[in-house]
Every structure is written in C-alpha cells, then in structure tokens.
Amino acid sequence: MKRVLFCLVLFAVFFASCTRDEKNEAPNLILILVDDMGYADVGFNGCTDIPTPNIDKLAEGGVRFTNGYVSYCVCGPSRAGLLTGRYQDRFGFSRNPLFAPNDPGMGLPLTEETLADALKKAGYKSLAIGKWHMGAHESLHPLKRGFDDFYGFLSGGHRYFPEELTLNDPFEATSQFDGYKTRLLRNYERVDETEYLTDALSREAVSYIEKNKDNPFFIYLAYNAPHAPLQATEKYLSRFENIDNKKRKTYAAMVSAVDDGVGLILNKLEELNLEENTLVVFLSDNGGPENHNASDNGILRGQKGDLFEGGIRVPFAMKWRGTIPAGEVYENPIISLDIFATIIAQSGKKIPLKNEIDGVDLIPYLKGENNSQPHDQLFWRKFDAQDYAVRQGDDKLLIKADSKNMLFNLTDDISEENNLEEQRPDRVLQLTKEFQNWNRNMKDPIFMGLSQDKKYNELHPERFEKLTE
C-alpha cells in the first residue's frame, strides 16, 4: 500500500511538473492596444499631468521601447499590420475602412491569416475585446478570423456611455459614424451593457483570464480610448481638477480609465500566479491627434496621420516576468509587426504560417542573446498622399509628393528639425532605392477609405440595406 501511495505521489509531482513545462512552452499573450494616445501621455515617457501607475508598472517590470513604431499612422491599417505581422500594404489595406456591413471587401481580406488563426494551431483560445475595425460584414467578423470569443463593436470608434448605444442592428445606421451607436456584441448577439465602455472592456479581459487560467490564451484588448468622442465619467474626471483645459481634462480621465483596467489585469495575473507565463504588451495604434483630442506627442514632430515621428512612434512596452529583464530600456527600432513573430516563436510548437511575416522575434534581442539590430530598415507608405518613409539605423528619409525630400538623423534630432538632404545626397539616393525595392512588392489599395465616403455612397446606395440572396 505504501508503495502504491509513493508511486501516486511521484506521478502527481511528475504530472504537475509536465503541466508547468507545457505552460512555459506556450505563454499566454495579452495585447493591450489603445487608440490615439500621445507618445508623451504615459509616465514611462515623461508625462506629469496624467498619472499612469499601472501602465508604468508594466513597463518597469519589463522593457520600454524608446523607438517603438507602428506600421501606419492611422487606426485601420495599423491594426491590420499588427494582427497579421505583415506590412498591410502587402495586401492592399492602405486606408481606413468604411463602416459598410454589407460589403465583404471592406476590411481585412480573407487571404490573410490573423495572429488568432496562427495561435489556434498551437491550441490557444483567443478573445477579441473592443474595437475591431477590420470589416463589418459577417464574413469579416472576429469569430470568422480565428477568435473564439468576441466582446465589442465592429466600427472604427464607439460611444462610451451605455445609454447612447441605441442601434440594435448595423443596418439601422444611415451614416459612417452611426456605427458608433450600435449596441455591443457578445460573439454574434447584441447585449445591453450597463457600464462605461472602457470599464466594461477591462471587466471582460479579467473574466477571460480567470476562465482560461489553465490553458494558453490570447487576449486582444483593443480599447477605443482615448479616441473621440471625448467622454468620461465623473469617477475619472474628478481625478483631474488640476487640469483647466476641458478637452485635456476629459482626455486625461479616459487615459486614467485605461490605466485602471491595466491594473486589474496585472493584479489578476499576479493573483493566479500567471505572471511568469504571460507576455503582456502595451502600445498605441498610432500617434496622438493633438489638435483633435488634446493628446501630447512631446518632443516628436507631427501627429496622427503624419509620417513624422509623432504619427508612427508610440508608447510601447512589454513585460514577461522571468524572461524579459525588468527595467530594461531598449533603444533599437522595433515595430508592432514584431509582436506576431515574438509570440509565435514562444508557442512551443512549430506553427505553419499561411503567409510570410515581416516581424521578428524580439526575445533574443531583449535577453542580450542577439546584439544586432532587429531590422535592417523599416518602411511606411501613405498611398493616397504619395508620402513615404524609410528608417535605416539612425537615419530616416521622408519622401513627400508636395515638397522636397527630408533626411533626419533621429539620434541627434528626434524632433526632425534639421533636414540633411542637401548635405547627404548619397544617403538620400540610397534610402530612396531601398524604399523603391520594398514598394515593388506592395499592392494598391483594395477598398475606398474614409476620405472617399461620399463617393462610396454614390456607388453603393444600398450600403446600409440588409441584402438577401
């Protein structure tokens, strides 16, 4: 009998050890994406009027990227790159998609594999929360793009107060921004939310962690805060009596609501002893639109919509306790496309991918196992404006259709004030060729964008009609 009990104890210890090993081979991923946040609007980038203790805790417990970029300067294309690990121009997602619930071509094309698609092959469960913006047609719904669960909205933005969510169906919309008023979706069902939207999204993330604590999971938490409309509850507004500017005060309150949510998530991971088995990433989808929502990009030139640093360099931090050294500041340029490659490499399984990705696994660089630059160069393209950018090492070239080229050394001139184009013509020529070589493999846009809303309505008068076969 004693021998049997001894064997059972050994088996239990062995099983528990195997379970831990399997978990370590397949870390959870929580990807926290905020919308339209300024580079200088978090404490870890020097913000003084908006406390962000929980976001800062994430950064302090891992790595802060000082040269962390997104692949585009506005919401939709940036998210398409993030979710696929590929430059979105490879598949023609070069514009912000319109809210068009009966158009299967208005969004992320079915040729593309999402991070949720890829992780499903390794046994992950995936949840998309909040802003989707990858298409409102039923064929483009998150549950058709690899996610097992969804709680949020399909449009490019949303209202925050539940009493303003009055549309029961996307086909009740009569204009682009009517999508902001649709009731939230839980998977395919409309629900009656009662909480301030940011709080509701945080709630759903914490709940999913609790339910899936014993299995590898991926949470894509896409807050729409602090994107317009600027709306906040008194709970958060009351924290900023020191800010007189009404717009900045509301913006600060919205950021603070996000920070509270990040705190709830980090606390839940700690409570469940999941910190060493969870990679948490925080970033914004593009730079802050300073003139529109009172965000602050600090010393960076430009804002959302620009290929100057203020449009594409964003607050960016990553934490994985026990794997990424705490308190690290990483200076080499990285890009949001790297998140896909990083988690795939840690999944514990060789995941066959549908398409070649452009990101790289960052972990060897962050652990000091690889001291080279993660990328030889990074590229950006604004197709309609015919504006382009390429960064290689310290140098960044802006190729603009309406003015002369601009070359900056970002290490010496982070604010992009001193154009070196005339002093370094050979460098301009070289970087131009680098861009042209890259651009040959990109596609023209496959759908109309926000600036073409009126034209789209003329061509598609049935835009908001529920079509039947």
Indicate which residues carry an active-site annotation. Answer: 75, 133
C-beta of residue 96 within 8 angstroms of C-beta of residue 329: no
b/e per residue, 267-299, with b = 16+ CB within 10 A? ebbeeeebbebbbbbbbbbbbbbbebbbbbbbe
C-beta of residue 320 within 8 angstroms of C-beta of residue 278: yes
Q: Is the bond leading into 27 cis (omega within 30 degrees of zero)?
A: no
| The two three-digit tokens of residue 113, written as one number | 């594999």
C-beta of residue 369 within 8 angstroms of C-beta of residue 355: no
Q: Give the number of C-alpha atoms closer than 13 A to the C-alpha of residue 95, restricted to the C-beta side.
A: 20
- Integer Cα distance of 306 and 91 in angstroms: 21
